[in-house]
C-alpha cells in the first residue's frame, strides 16, 4: 500500500517565552530566555528556586471559566494551544470520524495530584474533589480537545517521559499515512513546575543549580552546563493528508517526511553511553523519509543541558553523519524554553517546521565555553539565516525512549 503524505497546517504554542506561536517564535529568534525565579509557590527550602514558567497564562482565552476550573493546568495548556493550531489550520468541513486527537504528556495532572493529596492529609478522604481523577489522568488533554472540536477519529495519549509528544506525533502521522484519518491534532502538554516535581528532579541532581543567574542556567552543549531547567507549556500541531490540504488551499507549513523510534534498553535515567538508540532513531527517520544523511541541514536537538545527554547526543550525531556533522546546524531551544518534559517534542517539532518555512534557525543561547565533547555548530547565541530542505527534531526520555522526526521544507 502506498503511504499517504502528511503535512503540517497549524501550530499552537504556550511556553515561558511566549503564550502564542508567534510570540514564542519571535522570542526564540531574539534569543530571549523564559527562565526566572519561581512565582507559583514558595521555594525557600528547595535546592533550586527557578524554572521556565508560562507567566500570565489565562485559560479563558480559549475555555469557558467553568470548564477551565475542571481541568488541570497541563490540560488547559493543551486545549489553548490546540485552539490556536486548529484556528490557523482552519480545516473547514471534515468528517468527524476522520479527524482525531493524540496528545502526549509525561506526567499529566501533577499539580492536581499534589493539591488533592494535601487536602486528603489535612481534611480527610471526604474532602478529595470528585474531579480529582479526570483532572489528574494524562489522557485528559486529548479528551478535552476532542470534545471541543467534536473529532471522533483515533483518540488516545502517549506517555513516554520526555519523548511523549514525539511519540504522539509519530503515531498521529502514521494514522494519516495508513488511511485511518485525514486530520490529526497532536503534540504534547505539561505543567510540572510544582513542589514535588521540583524536589524530585533536584534531589536526583538532574536540574541546574544556578540560582544566582537563572536566565543563564540552561546552556546546552556548553562546557559549564550543570543540568536542565524545568519548563511548562504545550506545543500542538495539526497534521493533514497532503491532497486534502492542497484541495482546500491550506497554507502548508512543512511536511512530515519520516520518523524513527527506538529504545536504549540500558538505564532508567541515563542514555546509553554510545548513543546507539539516539543514532538509530535519527537513522530510521532519514531512511523512512527516503533521503540520505547529507540531505539533512538542521537538527533541533534534545539538548537538555545535562552533562550526559549533550555529549552522547553529539556522539550519536557525529557517528551517523560523519564529515557532514561539521556542516550541520544544530540548536537546542531548551536554552530558552526550559525542558517541557512530555511537551518538549511538541513545541520543538513546531520550531523545526517554522525554521524550515522561514529559513531561520533558532539559536542556542548561553553558549560561552566550547566543550570538546560537544564540537558541533550549535547556532551559538544568535539565530542563523539558512535555507534548509530537511531537518530533524529529536526527543529522548527517561526509560531509554528515543524519537526523531524528519521534516521536509514545503515547496510545491
Query: So what's the pLDDT on residue 412?
Result: 75
Which three-class secondary structure state does DSSP give residue 288? helix
* CATH 3.40.190.170, applies to 7-247: no
Top-level class of domain 257-409: alpha beta
- Tell me the pTM: 0.97
Active site residue 162: yes
What angle (nearest 5°) sits at the alpha carbon of residue 50, between those of residues 44 and 51?
A: 140
* C-alpha–C-alpha distance, residues 307 and 304, integer Å: 9
For the stretch 162-184, what's the b/e string if a residue is b when 16 or more beta carbons lie within 10 angstroms of its beta carbon?
A: bbbbbbbbbbbbbbbbeeebbbb
Instruction: Provide the residue count of the chain.
Output: 412
Write the burial class of residue 127 (CB in 10 Å: 0-12 exposed, 13-18 middle, 19+ buried).
exposed
Cβ distance 250 to 34 under 8 Å?
Answer: no
Instruction: Identify the sign of the CA torsion 316, 257, 235, 170.
Output: negative
Where are the chain's structural domains?
7-247, 257-409
Write the burial class of residue 56 (CB in 10 Å: 0-12 exposed, 13-18 middle, 19+ buried).
exposed
* Element containing residue 262 per DSSP (H, E): strand 254-263
End-to-end CA distance of the chain: 24
What crossing angle do the helices spanning 73-89 and 140-149 adopt, rounded to 10°? 40
* C-alpha–C-alpha distance, residues 27 and 335, integer Å: 12
Over the chain (412 residues), what is each successive 10-residue block's mean pLDDT?
Answer: 92 98 98 98 98 98 96 98 98 96 98 98 97 98 98 98 98 98 98 98 98 98 98 98 97 98 96 96 98 98 97 98 97 98 98 98 98 96 98 98 98 82
Q: Which is the catalytic residue, given 175, 339, 379, 406? A: 339
Cβ distance 132 to 112 under 8 Å?
Answer: yes
* C-alpha–C-alpha distance, residues 89 and 246, integer Å: 12
Which three-class secondary structure state does DSSP give residue 133? helix
255 — phi, psi (to 5°)? Answer: -110, 140
Q: Which is the catalytic residue, given 80, 162, 379, 406? A: 162
Query: So what's the pLDDT on residue 1?
Result: 64
Active site residue 302: yes
Q: Which is the catalytic residue, given 167, 175, 302, 401? A: 302
Quote the distance between the C-alpha of residue 271 and its chain's center.
18
Residue 114, all three cell numbers: 499534589
Residue 277, all three cell numbers: 538508540
Amino acid at each position: 500500500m502506498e503511504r499517504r503524505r502528511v503535512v503540517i497546517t497549524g501550530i499552537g504554542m504556550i511556553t515561558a517565552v511566549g503564550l502564542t506561536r508567534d510570540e514564542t517564535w519571535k522570542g526564540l529568534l531574539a534569543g530571549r530566555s523564559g527562565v526566572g525565579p519561581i512565582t507559583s509557590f514558595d521555594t525557600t527550602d528547595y535546592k533550586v528556586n527557578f524554572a521556565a514558567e508560562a507567566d500570565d497564562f489565562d485559560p479563558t482565552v480559549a475555555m469557558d471559566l467553568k470548564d477551565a476550573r475542571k481541568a488541570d493546568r497541563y490540560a488547559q495548556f493543551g486545549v489553548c494551544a490546540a485552539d490556536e493550531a486548529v484556528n490557523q489550520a482552519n480545516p473547514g468541513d471534515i468528517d468527524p470520524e476522520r479527524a482525531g486527537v493524540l496528545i502526549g504528556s509525561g506526567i499529566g495532572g501533577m499539580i492536581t495530584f499534589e493539591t488533592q493529596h494535601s487536602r486528603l492529609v489535612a481534611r480527610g478522604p471526604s474532602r478529595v474533589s470528585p474531579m480529582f481523577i479526570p483532572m489528574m489522568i494524562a489522557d485528559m488533554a486529548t479528551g478535552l480537545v476532542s470534545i471541543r472540536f467534536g473529532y471522533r477519529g483515533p483518540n488516545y495519549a502517549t506517555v513516554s517521559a520526555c519523548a511523549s509528544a514525539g511519540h504522539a506525533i509519530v503515531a498521529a502521522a502514521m494514522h494519516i499515512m495508513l488511511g485511518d484519518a485525514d486530520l490529526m491534532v497532536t503534540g504534547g502538554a505539561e505543567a510540572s513546575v510544582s513542589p514535588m516535581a521540583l524536589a524530585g528532579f533536584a534531589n536526583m541532581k538532574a536540574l541546574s543549580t544556578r540560582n544566582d543567574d537563572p536566565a543563564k542556567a540552561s546552556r546546552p552543549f556548553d562546557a559549564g552546563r550543570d543540568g536542565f531547567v524545568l519548563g511548562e507549556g504545550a506545543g500542538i500541531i495539526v497534521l493533514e493528508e497532503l491532497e486534502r490540504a492542497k484541495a482546500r488551499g491550506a497554507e502548508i507549513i512543512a511536511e512530515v517526511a519520516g520518523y524513527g523510534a527506538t529504545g536504549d534498553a540500558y538505564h532508567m535515567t541515563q542514555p546509553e553511553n554510545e548513543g546507539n538508540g539516539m543514532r538509530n532513531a535519527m537513522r530510521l527517520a532519514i531512511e523512512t523519509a527516503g533521503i540520505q544523511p547529507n540531505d539533512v541541514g538542521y537538527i533541533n536537538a534534545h539538548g537538555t543541558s545535562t552533562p550526559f545527554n549533550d555529549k552522547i547526543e553529539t556522539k550519536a550525531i557525529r557517528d551517523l553523519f560523519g564529515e557532514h556533522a561539521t556542516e550541520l546546524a544544530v540548536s537546542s531551544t531548551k536554552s530558552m524554553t526550559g525542558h517541557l518534559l512530555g511537551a518538549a517534542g511538541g513545541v520543538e517539532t513546531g520550531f523545526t517546521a517554522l525554521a524550515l518555512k522561514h529559513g531561520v534557525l533558532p539559536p542556542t543561547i548561553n553558549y560561552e565555553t566550547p566543550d570538546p565533547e560537544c564540537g558541533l555548530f550549535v547556532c551559538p547565541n544568535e539565530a542563523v539565516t539558512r535555507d534548509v530542505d530537511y531537518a530533524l527534531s529529536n526527543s529522548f526520555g527517561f526509560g531509554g525512549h528515543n524519537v526523531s522526526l524528519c521534516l521536509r521544507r514545503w515547496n510545491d
